Structure 1
């Protein structure tokens, strides 16, 4: 049976719960609007959705909280495998709800993210080098403890929560002409595309060294890929999620790859010019514009989702 598409009605219902009961946890993050020329881009306007200012430092808080709210949580708590951001979001949601949290991270995860996890009260287990190694160990542990499994990017509740970000963009500014989205396992683009459907052009962006969606499209189905590079701690899934695959097949036409140099340059530009301290994964949307990989029409409004800020500040030097 085909994987289900997330509906706008599901996203709307999730957003209402957040607004009515958890506005202290899920924040409405700013939408910065700049003329295209302020970023050196030949388009009418560029919006920066500053989701790196969300609880836990990334968009992941939305999906993880929705996952926890939608299921009974056993005494053993919750468990997740993550390059860092999904773990931080799960740990933050678990602390807010007063439940235990265990997080499995790969060796590629940054020390800054591990320290943040520990500060949130999570038990941190480092396993292997890649996200897939951490996930395998996490699934084995979950079978032993019975903890509620929160997947970093491939659960209905996770994509639905991520979709509330897209709804928020529309409420704040209306429909942009295009929305540029970083892709790892696909939880963010799956939720965003499910909200916008094809009312805005959603563009998938990946590092050349972690092409999960791009290679899946070439193969005609999700496939395993080798992952490395500057954004591997956040965009290090080896295979696009099944739910994101279904959503992108339905709603996303464009899948583009970016090299590490352009990603780093965009990250540094955002810090130097706008004082936005963000991780490499959050710089892909600007990199797509500044490198010319995505060329918007002159009259277009382009929305860049700045998805996360869990980094070692020294790396910006």
Structure 2
């Protein structure tokens, strides 16, 4: 099922009372590349990432049973589902891989979720999540491959288009693809939406080469934010519809983008949150003179000891 702009507009009307309209800021030309860049600071969203938009849209769109909601997550999606459920008066249980780490598991609990650490094999974690949903009847909220989730994430693009209406190119990080699938669906062919991936979590470039059936084993510094084993079918269809380009950056380049964002802006973001920016700070993408660039800083759940 493809989503369209009207789905995203309706999602925005639905979730608007519960989310922050995150700011954009225009950065001077010599900060990151040879043109000004508009940053969409979505890491300032409730729970520290865009994920709350899709979670809220799903929970608000569905009949939630007494068992509440259930999700599988390495961190940001789980926190978002916990936030959405508790804000709307429901229970939430999150099945998490061990590599999510203590900080992200604590964040999930902070927002009201019961967290069940479920081992290092993500396929096993998913099996436990699916079994729980089947056994209890809890509403399963998929992290990315669900129309309601993708429409909710697409509201980032809707807001950005209102705040900076004349963009030529928008850079978006990719994990499971819900965010870029939604943003791509919002902009259509009007704006060049570019996927940026880490080498260790490159689901989109893998799908372009091998199809969706051959997954990856996420690793590296973005594994607990962009670490899906496969790109979702819905996001893949949305990206293919508009022939979206994939750019791949290394963990070293992502760390450098974090440092530059801190040096230039005094903004701290997690590795997955700055992956899109790394395409510019490394020169992997060279903007044309006068090109209007937007970058989504999609997550801020960094561990503080990275910066001490």
TM-score (normalised: structure 1)? 0.94
The answer to whether the Cα contact below 8 Å between 2:57 and 2:149 also exists between their aligned partners in 1 is yes
The answer to whether the Cα contact below 8 Å between 1:82 and 1:135 also exists between their aligned partners in 2 is no
Residues in 1 aligned to 2:211 and 2:146: alpha-carbon distance in whole angstroms: 22
The answer to whether the Cα contact below 8 Å between 2:212 and 2:231 also exists between their aligned partners in 1 is no
Residues in 2 aligned to 1:263 and 1:209: alpha-carbon distance in whole angstroms: 12
The answer to whether the Cα contact below 8 Å between 1:106 and 1:130 also exists between their aligned partners in 2 is yes
Per-residue deviation, 1:153: 0.7
Q: How many residues align?
A: 308
From 80, 95, 99, the equivalent of 1:108 is: 99
From 10, 13, 33, the equivalent of 2:10 is: 13
The answer to whether the Cα contact below 8 Å between 1:102 and 1:122 also exists between their aligned partners in 2 is yes
Which residue in the other structure is 1:28 paired with?
Answer: 21
From 31, 38, 61, the equivalent of 1:38 is: 31
Residues in 2 aligned to 1:64 and 1:121: alpha-carbon distance in whole angstroms: 14
Q: Deviations over 1:135-193 (max 9, x none)?
A: 22111111111100000111000000011110100111103111101000000010000
Per-residue deviation, 1:222: 4.8
The answer to whether the Cα contact below 8 Å between 2:79 and 2:109 also exists between their aligned partners in 1 is no
RMSD: 1.2
Question: Are 2:53 and 1:56 equivalent residues in the alignment?
Answer: no
Q: 1:252 to 1:53 in 2, by over 3 A?
A: farther
The answer to whether the Cα contact below 8 Å between 2:15 and 2:56 also exists between their aligned partners in 1 is no
Q: 1:226 to 1:263 in 2, by over 3 A?
A: same
TM-score (normalised: structure 2)? 0.97
**DSSP 3-state at the match of 2:100:** coil
Question: Are 2:64 and 1:73 equivalent residues in the alignment?
Answer: yes
Q: 1:191 to 1:130 in 2, by over 3 A?
A: farther
Residues in 1 aligned to 2:212 and 2:95: alpha-carbon distance in whole angstroms: 27
Runs ≥4 residues deviating over 6 A: none
**DSSP 3-state at the match of 2:94:** strand
**DSSP 3-state at the match of 1:266:** helix
Residues in 1 aligned to 2:98 and 2:85: alpha-carbon distance in whole angstroms: 23
Residues in 2 aligned to 1:127 and 1:80: alpha-carbon distance in whole angstroms: 12
Which residue in the other structure is 2:73 paired with?
Answer: 82
**Within 5 A, what are the aligned runs for 1:1-317?**
4-19=1-16, 22=17, 25-39=18-32, 41-43=33-35, 45-317=36-308
Residues in 2 aligned to 1:47 and 1:314: alpha-carbon distance in whole angstroms: 28
**DSSP 3-state at the match of 1:277:** coil
Q: 1:169 to 1:114 in 2, by over 3 A?
A: same
